[in-house]
Amino acid sequence: MGGSGFVGIHLVNKLVVAGYSVRVPTRRREHAKTVAVLPDVEVVEANIFDPVDLDRHFAGMDAVINLVGILNESGAGQGSFHEVHVELPRKIVQACAASGVKRLLHMSALNASTAAPSAYLRSKGEGEAVVLEAGVPHGKNENRSCDDPGFVRGNGLEVTTFRPSVIFGREDSFLNKFAGLLKIAPVLPLASPQARFQPVFVEDVAQAFVASLGNPATFGQSYDLCGPKAYALRELVSLVGVMTGHRRRIIGLSPRLSYLQAWFLECLPGRKIMTRDNYYTMQVDSVCSAGFPSIFGLKPSAIEAVAPAYLVEASPYQAYRSAAGR
Ligand SMILES: NC(=O)c1ccc[n+]([C@@H]2O[C@H](COP(=O)([O-])OP(=O)(O)OC[C@H]3O[C@@H](n4cnc5c(N)ncnc54)[C@H](OP(=O)(O)O)[C@@H]3O)[C@@H](O)[C@H]2O)c1
C-alpha cells in the first residue's frame, strides 16, 4: 500500500527484481502508472479505508507493506493524520488477521512517538505502536513449537517497522523543493536553519524493506534508518545551491520568525510548502544514534554521491561554475 509513491516506486521495483509478485492498491490507477508497467505487478483501484476492500485485496497475499502516509492534513479528501497514520494501520492489522496474512512491514518515521512535538510525529508514533502491539514480540517464539505453553500467539503477525530520517532520491520532495526555491529566489529566508537531518537514500530504504521481508531476525523489530552524515538544514540548503549552480544568500530565521513563516505559508492556498506542524516536527533533530542497521548488509549512500545527478539541471557545468564563483 502506498506503492505508487516516492518510496513505493523504488520498493516495488526492487521487489520485482527479487522475484516477488506485487499487488499495488491505489486510489486512482493513473497514480500508479510507473509501477503498472512492471512485470508481476498488479495495480488495483481500492478504498483502503474500507475493511471489506482491504480483506479482498489482502486475500492470498504472503505479506503486506504499508507505506501510506501524509505530511500535512490539508489536501482535499486526504484525511487526517489520525485516519491515515493510526486508524489505517489498525484496519490493516485487522485485515491481516481476517485474511491470514502473517507478515507486515510498516513505514513509520524517525522520532515518531506519542510524546513528540508535532501531530505528524505523534500520529506516526501511535500507528507504529498499534502494529507493534499486534505483532509477536521479537524472540518470543524462538526455539518454541506452537504447542509449547510459552508460545505467544497474539494474532501471529510478524511485524517490522522502519523509521527513516528524511529520504532523498530523484523524485524527493525535500532536496528538490529547495532546488526549486533557490532557482527563483535571489535570497532565501530559511525557517529552523539549525534543525538537523541525516538524509537517507531511497534505494537504501527500499533495500532494507526487501532484506527484512523474509528474515525472521527482523520480526518484532523497529529500525531507525539514516544516511552516513548529519547536516544542519542551512548546510543542506547551501549544498543544494552548490550542486545546482544556484548559490544564494540564506538568511536563517529566529524561532519566532520561523514559526510566523510556517504559519504564513500554511495559510496560502494550494500545496503546502510548510505548516506550523512541520515547524514543530523540526524541533527534534532527525538524526540516528547509530549507523545503518548492519542486518541489512549495506553501506548507505551519501547525498554528495547521488543528488548532483538529479538536482543539476540543463548544464552539468553549472555547479562547477557556481563553485568557482562564476
Ligand atoms: N519521504 C520522506 O522523506 C519520508 C520520511 C520519513 C517517513 N516517510 C514515510 O514513508 C512513507 C512513504 O513516503 P513517500 O514519500 O513515498 O510518500 P508519497 O510519495 O506521498 O506516497 C504516499 C502513498 O500513500 C498513498 N496515500 C497518500 N495519502 C493517502 C490517503 N489519504 N489515502 C490513501 N492513500 C494515500 C498514495 O497512494 P495513491 O495516491 O496511489 O492512492 C501514495 O502512493 C510515508 O508513510 C511517509 O510518512 C517518508
* Domain parsing of the chain, residue ranges: 6-167+201-225, 168-200+227-288+301-326
Q: What is the pLDDT of residue 271?
A: 82
Task: Provide the grid cell at 43.
Answer: 495495480
44-53 per-position pLDDT tens digit? 999 999 999 9
Residue 70 Cβ inside 6 Å of ligand 1? The answer reads yes
Residue 88 Cβ inside 6 Å of ligand 1? The answer reads no
69 Cα to the center of ligand 1, angstroms: 4
Find the range with the poorest average confidence among 23-27, 75-79, 107-111: 75-79
CA-nearest of 106, 98, 115 to 66 is 106
Confidence grade of residue 138 (pLDDT, cut at 50, 70, 90) = low
Q: What is the pLDDT of residue 156?
A: 76
220-231 per-position pLDDT tens digit? 999 999 999 999
Q: What's the whole-number average pLDDT of the chain?
A: 91
Q: What crossing angle do the helices spanning 88-99 and 51-58 adopt, rounded to 10°?
A: 50
Q: Please state whether the predicted TM-score (pTM) of the whole model is above 0.85.
A: yes
**All residues at 6 or more sequence positions from 309 whose CB lies less than 8 Å from its CB, including other chains:** none
Identify the three-state secondary structure at position 279: helix
189 Cα to the center of ligand 1, angstroms: 28
Nearest CA to ligand 1 atom 6: 109
Q: What is the pLDDT of residue 150?
A: 58
249 Cα to the center of ligand 1, angstroms: 32
Maximum pairwise Cα distance, the chain = 74
What CATH topology corresponds to 6-167+201-225?
Rossmann fold (3.40.50)
